[in-house]
């Protein structure tokens, strides 16, 4: 044997050779408990409506939402995120249906908590766009401008309404300034000190929200855009300021939305603040995977899992994803 032959001192491929050794050195683990399942609610009983722009995702009446909750518990998913599709006749300029204690969101929340108690968490969206006749997240003036403080006041009423219905996590997705502090104070003053806040702290004015707006019925109503309150996709430092403000105002968790185009933001938030960080794999990101798989451009499950793993690897503690049940089934095998 010629001892003068040069070999690599380190062969990183050694640990990749077998599945058991790959498992031993894996740096990032994804589990069903990392997933939050978004669900869309409609009126009626035993009603299911397919959402054309979200393949495999449906709007469901409250009785079917309960079946999904039972499925989530069986799969090890710890939390559901609820979004209502408010009937057109209940929408108005100010989104007043958001404060109705008998609205779709409250009825679904009541039903889940009454049936399952603390077996699963319920996260409720706080924003006015599912309730307004114009599709914006806030109250607008005669010139079409979003009124920040008036909207924040309405969001406080909405949040208390949802907490009274049994919500475990209030998730303001509106991006109004100061609303986290106002909601936190109101929760404390209304005997809800243990209701958590997951703030959409860095929510960008993204092109990937279209299918979601279809799902909640606001897409066809929206005039203009949301750039005056959602973040500019070009900005990163601004996201750190938003996160810092929401933490200082009482947010328990912060969210980055969307996820895949903003992995750097997830990483920065986790590194700089060391708080629980969640990310929303939004409707457009979900739909792209489905479209690619349908076109034969890759294996759907493999692309799905790689996407989710990348979000977790970037630093997310949890992920809101429409893939939650499918991913949980794979992870449970």
The one-digit pLDDT tens for each residue of the chain (333 residues) are 566 778 888 999 999 999 999 999 999 999 999 999 999 999 999 999 999 999 999 999 999 999 999 999 999 999 999 999 999 999 999 999 999 999 999 999 999 999 999 999 999 999 999 999 999 999 999 888 999 999 999 999 999 999 999 999 999 999 999 999 999 999 999 999 999 999 999 999 999 999 999 999 887 888 889 999 999 999 999 999 999 999 999 999 999 999 999 999 999 999 999 999 999 999 999 999 999 999 999 999 999 999 999 999 999 999 999 999 999 999 998
According to the annotation, is 242 in a ligand binding site? yes
Multiple choice CATH, 31-332, 1.10.10.10, 3.40.50.410, 3.20.20.70, 3.40.50.300: 3.20.20.70
| Annotated domain spans of the chain | 31-332
Distances (CA, A) of 84 to 42, 285, 288: 6, 21, 23
Active site residues: 203, 257
User: Is the pTM higher than 0.85?
Assistant: yes
Residues in the chain: 333
Nearest-angstrom CA–CA distance, 319 and 263 = 12
pLDDT at 308: 98
Q: What is the pLDDT of residues 14-72, one digit of tens each?
A: 999 999 999 999 999 999 999 999 999 999 999 999 999 999 999 999 999 999 999 99
- Report pLDDT for 91: 96
Residue 12: DSSP 8-state = G
- 8 Å CB contact between 99 and 158: yes
Q: Are 240 and 269 in contact (CB under 8 A)?
A: yes
The confidence score (pLDDT) of residue 2 equals 63
Instruction: Calculate ∠ Cα 281-284-199, nearest 5°.
Output: 40
């Amino acid at each position: 044997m010629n001892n003068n032959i040069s070999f690599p001192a380190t062969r990183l491929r050694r640990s990749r050779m077998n599945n058991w050794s790959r498992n031993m050195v894996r740096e990032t683990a994804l589990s069903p408990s990392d997933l939050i399942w978004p669900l869309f609610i409609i009126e009626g009983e035993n009603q299911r409506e397919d959402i054309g722009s979200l393949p495999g995702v449906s709007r469901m009446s409250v009785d079917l939402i309960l079946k999904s909750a039972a499925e989530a518990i069986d799969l090890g998913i710890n939390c559901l995120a609820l979004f209502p599709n408010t009937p057109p006749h209940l929408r108005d300029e100010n989104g007043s249906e958001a404060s109705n204690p008998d609205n779709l969101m409250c009825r679904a929340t009541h039903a889940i908590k009454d049936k399952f108690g603390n077996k699963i968490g319920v996260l409720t969206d706080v924003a006015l766009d599912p309730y307004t006749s114009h599709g914006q997240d806030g109250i607008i003036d005669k010139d079409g401008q979003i009124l920040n403080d008036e909207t924040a006041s309405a969001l406080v009423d909405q949040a208390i309404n949802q907490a009274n219905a049994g919500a475990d996590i209030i998730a303001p997705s509106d991006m109004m300034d100061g609303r986290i502090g106002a909601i936190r104070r109101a929760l404390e003053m209304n005997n809800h000190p243990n209701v958590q806040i997951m703030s959409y702290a860095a929510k960008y004015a993204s092109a990937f929200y279209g299918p979601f707006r279809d799902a909640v019925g606001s897409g066809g109503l929206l005039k203009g855009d949301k750039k005056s309150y959602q973040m500019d996709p070009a900005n990163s430092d601004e996201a750190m300021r938003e996160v810092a403000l929401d933490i200082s105002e009482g947010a328990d968790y912060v969210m980055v939305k969307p996820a895949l185009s903003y992995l750097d933001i997830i990483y920065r938030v986790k590194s700089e603040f060391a708080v629980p960080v969640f990310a929303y794999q939004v409707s457009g990101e979900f739909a792209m995977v489905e479209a690619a798989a349908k076109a034969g451009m890759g294996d759907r499950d493999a692309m799905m899992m790689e996407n989710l793993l990348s979000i977790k690897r970037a630093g997310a503690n949890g992920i809101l994803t429409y893939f939650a049940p499918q991913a949980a089934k794979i992870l449970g095998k």
